[in-house]
Amino acid sequence: MAVDRIAKVLVAVHQDAGKRFLEVLQRRGIVHIVKTEEVEAGKDIVELDRQFGRLSGAIDFLGVRAEKRGGFLSGDRIEMPRSEFDNLVTEYEPSGYLDRIQGLSRELDESNNRKRATEAEMARLSPWLSLRHAPSELYGMASTVVLGMFADEDEFARGVDLLEEKSAGVERVADTDRGIASLVMSSKDAAEEVSRILSTLRFEIVDLKNVQKRPAELVQSLAKDMRQLSQRQEQIEAELKQLTAELPKLKAVADNLVNVRERATTEACLGKTQAVLLITGWVRERDYGKLEKLVEETGAAGLSRIQPDEGEEPPVALVNPKPFRPFELVLDLYSLPAHNEVDPTVLLAPFFAISFGFCLTDAGYGIALVLIVLGLMRKFGKDNKLLGMILVGGIFTIVAGALSGGWFGDMPNRLGLAPILTVKHRLMLFDPLKNPMPFFVLALGFGYFHMMYGMVIEIVDCLRLHRTGDALLGQLPWFVGLNALVALVLFKKSLPVSGSAVLLALVLASVSSIIVFTRRSKETALPQGLWFGLLWLVLVFFAARLGWLPEVFLYAKWAVIAVFLGMYGYTFADIRKTGRKLQIGFGLIGLVCLGLYFAGMLPALIAGIIGVGFFFTAPVNRVLAKRFIWGGYALYGATSYIGVVLSYIRIMALGMVTAGIAMAVNTIAWMVMGIPVLGVVLAIIVLAIGHTYNIAVNVLGAFVHTLRLNYVEFFPRFYTGGGEPFAPFREENRFVTVR
């Protein structure tokens, strides 16, 4: 569960072999290179970027025209043997194809622009097709001509009436969606008055002065142009379809350009001398032998291990079994562990899957989710972490749904098929909608166990890192105290007296340990140990006096006295080191008072006040007093554990919401099924849309809330994070998978 061991190395490569070595190193992908200096992009990098821009543009342009094998869910990546890939990138010259694709793309854009302009012109002329003359001829007549659109029939009638009074004629040309196309003619003397009347109406003037032909003739000509443009576009598309055969080659060259650029960028940022190229980086210990072999094969100058700089931490590489790798996404979204920290991927995976499953709580949804994810993996790859997590979560959803009786809501009950109902009832343990208490208890129990699990991880991890004090005095008291308290509350009636006494004694020991040891140091280990013993024994004694513990624990009084005397001696010795006579005298007075108390000549209260006062005259006890105050305040943190456990109720809430919406969808579908003729079709549509929506929304909710439970409730128990990811210098292929 720990992260992979990583060593820092220095590789010296002869300058003349530097480019070849970087190429081989990039293919092996085993070294995380540390760039020693930042260099601005040179002309060669800029040129590579330009070439890649042309290639990626051509690939995208042809990609939408290529036939996809395997349907929508098939991926755009292609597979290619290494030998074929190497031959292509060295022998294939794409510039001619790129020029042709670019020319066809430009011509296609121009053709589309011309088609849009032609369509707009045809739309402008279409209302005037019935005109017997070219509009330019009409405008040239002795009388005044106005072409335009009346908004509607009422506005046209008003216009006719008003214009007739001015001896102007109105000819109705055509009725259109925009209004009534009309031709208004008047004498030149009445032109100004006609213009005024038209301005008072909802009349839109149309300017056709530049139209030299009859609109009908011009539209015919434009339609012919449109046909020619469409024919040319079909020819272009056919040629582009043929050019899609070049896609695999273009993709290979594009991927190679990306990797060439990365090598050039990396080389520019490495240390150099006149003779050698110096590569500083990190390599996994298990890959160190591969790097040695690579150095031998390429004839590099040398390889050596080097010590990290002061304060420098190695990058983090996660190593997990294949079934658990998808759950590394949880850390990718949060923060990778530090180099010496535990990798929690395997630890969190089962709980993440269980929580996800109970947030959905529907076996039908789980089956649908698994099938959808398997289909998406064909397009996005089997190594997609998000899909892998959802796939595992879908499998656990099937189990959770079977246990709670959810199969697309209450679909089995509505279908009424006896075999299906029999299987459902045999698998079902509880119905969360009819009896939510088992689900409530399950969510709380899961939350409590998850919290305790995190504490155990922290204890074990502290022991692994030889932080024994943090394990035994920091986390263990909380673990023991909380579990003892819960066991005491849940099982008190069924436990024997001795069992209850042991549990209560453990609770009191945990409380004492938290107060005394929350802040600790090696220098004060002995007095803190004495204070812990005293506080615990005092609490045990008072618990016995109150009847919470058997009477035998009253004998703790004598143990209190023994520890008290030990503390008194330690305190007196500490005071003597100071050499202050007044404090030494006060200590002797305290000792006399203690003797008088045992002789029955002094009340316990007075002796106790003098004794406590004496304790805090010692420097060490004054320091400890401040720590104990913080320790007492730490006990208040116990309330946060209640909040942590209660936050897991969201699992029950999300599960019941999923079930409730599924049942509502089924209810609506059965209601519309009663509609004659179309009822069954409408019911199928409601079921498809409703359940698809429910799956989508609640998968998102299950994923987000399960992440939250891990980030907010689980990780703070043991996880810090902050590691830099191990990112080896390797080929990054966007389009081609090289075998």
Query: The domain spanning residue 273 has which CATH number?
Result: 3.30.70.120
Residue 492 has pLDDT above 90, yes or no: no
Q: Is residue 328 part of a domain?
A: yes
User: Whose CA is closest to 101, among 256, 250, 258?
Assistant: 250
- 284 φ, ψ (degrees, to nearest 5): -65, 145
> CB atoms < 10 A from the CB of 10, how many?
15
d(CA 7, CA 285): 6
Under the banding of pLDDT at 50, 70 and 90, the label for residue 72 is very low
Residue 694 lies in a domain: yes
What residue has token string 């929506």? 693
In a domain, 220, yes or no: no
**562 in the same domain as 497:** yes
Average pLDDT value over all residues in the chain = 85
User: Same domain for 656 and 637?
Assistant: no
Name the more confident of 608 and 521.
521
pLDDT tens by residue, 547-565: 888 888 887 777 877 777 7
Is the domain of 688 the same as that of 602? no
pLDDT above 70 (res 73): no
CA 715 to chain centre: 16
- Please give the residue range of the domain that contains residue 708: 322-435+652-717
Q: How far is CA 287 from CA 13, 30, 210, 725, in A?
A: 19, 7, 78, 17
Q: Look at 158-172, 307-321, 520-534 and tell me which has the smallest mean pLDDT.
A: 520-534
- Statement: residue 594 has pLDDT above 70: no
Q: Is 141 helix (H, G, I), strand (E, B) or coil?
A: coil
> Which pLDDT does position 701 carry in this prediction?
92
Q: What percent of the chain has pLDDT over 90?
A: 27
Arithmetic mean of pLDDT, 347-371: 93
> Residue 514 and residue 519: Cα distance in Å, rounded?
9
User: Both 486 and 635 in a single domain?
Assistant: yes
Pair (660, 595) in one structural domain: no
The CA dihedral of 261, 267, 269, 273, to the nearest 10 degrees, is -160
Same domain, 610 and 566: yes
Residue 27: is it exposed, middle or buried by C-beta count within 10 angstroms (0-12/13-18/19+)?
Answer: middle
Report the distance separating Cα 41 and Cα 656, nearest Å: 57
Whether 354 shows a pLDDT value over 90: the answer reads yes
Under a CB-based contact definition with an 8 Å cutoff, are residues 698 and 471 in contact? no
- Give residue 517's pLDDT: 86
| Distance from C-alpha of 426 to C-alpha of 405, rounded to nearest angstrom | 9
Interhelix angle 345-360/679-708, nearest 10 degrees? 150
- Give yes or no: residues 682 and 713 share one domain: yes
- Residue 605 pLDDT more than 70? no
423 and 471 fall within a common domain? no
Confidence of residue 709 (pLDDT cuts 50, 70, 90): very high
Quote the pLDDT of residue 248.
Answer: 87
Least confident of 29-43, 630-644, 702-716: 29-43
Strand partners, 147: 183
Of 643, 676, 702, the last residue of a domain is: 643
pLDDT in tens, 96-123: 888 998 999 999 999 999 999 999 989 8
Long-range interactions of 190-199: CB distance < 8 A, separation 24+ = 190/144, 190/166, 191/144, 193/166, 194/144, 194/146, 194/163, 194/166, 194/168, 195/146, 197/159, 197/162, 197/163, 197/166, 198/146, 198/148, 198/159
204 in a structural domain: yes
Whole-model pTM? 0.75
Neighbours of 230 (CB within 10 A): 12
Q: Domain for residue 86, yes or no? A: no
Pairing label, strands 6-14, 276-284: antiparallel
**In the listed set 192, 213, 234, which residue is the last one of a domain according to the structure?**
213
- Clarify whether residues 636 and 657 are in a common domain: no
C-alpha angle 528-534-538 in degrees, rounded to nearest 5? 145
**Which residues are CB-neighbours of 603 under 8 A, at least 6 positions away?**
597
> Backbone dihedral region of 722: left (phi > 0), alpha (psi from -120 to 50 degrees) or beta?
left
Q: Is residue 488 located within the same domain as residue 597?
A: yes
Q: Is 542 within the bounds of a domain?
A: yes
Inform me whether the pLDDT recorded for 668 exceeds 80. Answer: yes
Sort strands 736-738 and 78-80 into parallel, antiparallel or unpaired. parallel
The predicted model gives 633-638 an average pLDDT of 80
For residue 209, the one-letter residue type is: K
Whether residue 708 is contained in a domain is answered as yes
Q: What is the Rg, in whole angstroms, of the alpha carbon atoms belonging to the chain?
A: 42
pLDDT over 60 at 299, yes or no: yes
Asked if pLDDT for residue 369 goes beyond 90, the answer is yes
CATH code, 140: 3.30.70.2750
- What mean pLDDT is predicted for residues 217-230? 91
pLDDT digits (tens, 9 = 90+) for 381-436: 788 899 999 999 999 999 999 999 889 988 888 888 788 888 888 889 888 888 88
| Residue 191 C-alpha from the chain's centroid | 71
Degrees, nearest 5: CA angle 359-363-367: 110
pLDDT at 574 over 80: no
Alpha-carbon span 217 to 364, nearest angstrom: 65
**Does 306 lie in the same domain as 160?**
no
Reference 694, options 354, 408, 358, 428; nearest CA is 408
Count of structural domains within the chain: 4
pLDDT category, 590, cuts 50, 70, 90?
A: low
Please give the residue that has the higher pLDDT: either 222 or 676: 222
With a cut of 80, say whether residue 439 has pLDDT above it: yes
Tokens of 142: 């002795």
- pLDDT of 70 reads 47
Domain closes at, from 598, 623, 643: 643
Percent residues over pLDDT 70 in the chain: 90
Q: What is the pLDDT of residue 224?
A: 92
For the beta carbon of residue 695, count every other beta carbon within 10 angstroms.
24
Is 698 within a domain? yes
| Cα atoms found within 13 Å of the Cα of residue 55, Cβ hemisphere only | 25
- Identify whether residues 548 and 678 lie together within a single domain: no
